[in-house]
Amino acid sequence: MIDEYGQRAVTRCEILGKPPYSESSEYLFRPYLSQAYKQSQHLLVQWMHEAGMTTHIDPAGNLIGRYAGQTSDGPILVIGSHLDTVRNGGCFDGNLGIMLGIEVIDYFNRQQKRFSFGVDVIAFGDEEGSRFPVAMLTSKSVAGILNELPTGLKDKDGVTIEQAFEAFGLNYQDIQKARYDPQKVLAYFEAHIEQGPVLEAEGLPLGIVTGIASQYRFQVTLKGQACHSGTTSMALRKDAMAGAAEIIYKLEQCVDSCGQEGVVITTGQIVASPGAPNVIAGQVVFSIDLRAPTDAQRNEFAEKVNEIIEHICRKRQLRHELLIQHDLSASLCNQDLMSLLEQAVKKVGVPVRYITSGAGHDAMILAHLAPTAMLFIQSPNGISHSPDETVRCNDVTAALQTMIHFIELKEGKK
């Protein structure tokens, strides 16, 4: 029977990977507050109701399913992950954690089992930041740390976040009302694919997350001079693209030579203007994603990022702007909850493996609200944020069993 729950979780993720639950018919893309996002919520509402939950959309646009406890005024265990996706992403990133939350509740509802605490399953709306230039907006709302609303946010089509909220039937100014009362929340639990190769390399289905890496995301703008490519000598150029290439290379060299495990740097976006093959780039805008196990390591390398950019821009006579888009502190999972997870994993008969997350998750934001725990599920070939992302049903079933035991153990500790 448990195998059927695990298989259904996988199937439901696959269903959500296609139109009308994707904005594109060619690949999966489900941005926050889009029509595909709304359609996906409608389907999740149906599945949550079938599992025995009541549902509502909160002021941030998150979908919340509640499985009531034995009393109406009891505390809440929150299970969650994100419904949005990156462009051309995979159907299990984030979504599998939501499906597993629904399956766990369905299991307990069929057993007619209630707890001294209620359980909320949250499908967060904006973990990826794939529509507006800000990530984890909705989990920040729930955690109560969105003290100042980001302004001037527009998507690639020029739609403001205020307009997107209005079209969705919500008011952006109300987003902070999604905050949970920290006195009412027992803990936050998130199941998620690993998005890396460690568990597969060791032949393990599951990993207990110890913490989530610290992160900075920068937008760098270099400004030079657009000139004809054939008539401007190399010595007289102010080439923004050549400057960007040198910066990216030097940053990679800096991290490679540091000898600090877990420090990584990535440039995943770059746009050159005017963008003609016979014109020297007058402006280049590119991203820098910097991650490290601790805030101190991240901050140390952020200083080096700034030094390298300033040095190269002086040398090449370029002007530059450096904008911080994301600032996420490292987040440690709760020791007591990790101990319960270890007991749960052992009950399933799976070897215990502790693992650090290099990827950011809603759990790092919810840590401001309550103690957190995370469970990783093996990602075959370590692939994520890709159409080739997949999972094995046996691993998903093991995760489901672990979650069932975890909740039962949590009740025993209550």
Report which of 169, 168, 140 is spatially closest to residue 155, judged by C-alpha positions: 168
CB 78 within 8 A of CB 180: yes
DSSP 160: B
Q: Quick: pLDDT tens for 234-247.
A: 999 999 999 999 99
Largest CA distance in the chain: 79
Single-letter residue type at 271: V
Residue 67 in this model has a pLDDT that exceeds 80? yes
- What does R_g of the chain's alpha carbons equal in angstroms? 23
The pLDDT, as a whole number, for residue 224 is: 97
In whole numbers, what is the pLDDT of the chain averaged over residues?
94
CB 391 within 8 A of CB 355: no
Q: How far apart are CA 365 and CA 81, in angstroms?
A: 12
Q: How far apart are CA 136 and CA 127, in angstroms?
A: 4
Mean pLDDT value of segment 274-301: 94
Work out the percent of the chain whose per-residue pLDDT is above 70. 100
Write down the pTM of the prediction: 0.84
Partnered with residue 403 across adjacent β-strands are none
Single-letter residue type at 12: R
The pLDDT, as a whole number, for residue 105 is: 98
Q: Quick: pLDDT tens for 71-120.
A: 988 999 999 999 999 999 999 999 999 999 999 999 999 999 999 999 99
Residue 414 in this model has a pLDDT that exceeds 70? no
Q: With cut-offs at 50, 70 and 90, classify the pLDDT of residue 360.
A: confident
Q: Quick: pLDDT tens for 149-185.
A: 988 899 999 999 999 999 999 999 999 999 999 999 9
Q: How far apart are CA 332 and CA 209, in angstroms?
A: 9
CB 206 within 8 A of CB 375: yes
Domain annotation for the chain: domains and CATH numbers:
2-213+330-413 (3.40.630.10), 214-328 (3.30.70.360)
The pLDDT, as a whole number, for residue 135 is: 84
Residue 1 in this model has a pLDDT that exceeds 80? no
E strands, 118-247, in order: 118-124, 185-193, 206-212, 214-223
Q: List Cα–Cα distances, 320 to 100, 220, 223, 284, in angstroms.
A: 46, 7, 6, 10
Token pair 């998620």: residue: 192
Question: Residue 357 burial (CB < 10 Å; 0-12/13-18/19+)?
Answer: buried
Report which of 9, 32, 28, 8 is spatially closest to residue 20, judged by C-alpha positions: 28
Work out the percent of the chain whose per-residue pLDDT is above 90. 87
Q: Quick: pLDDT tens for 203-224.
A: 999 999 998 889 999 999 999 9
Question: Residue 257 burial (CB < 10 Å; 0-12/13-18/19+)?
Answer: exposed
Higher per-residue pLDDT: 133 or 275: 275
- Start-to-end CA span in the chain (Å): 28
Question: Residue 341 burial (CB < 10 Å; 0-12/13-18/19+)?
Answer: buried
Q: Quick: pLDDT tens for 317-351.
A: 999 999 998 888 888 999 999 999 999 999 999 99
CB atoms within 10 A of CB 348: 17
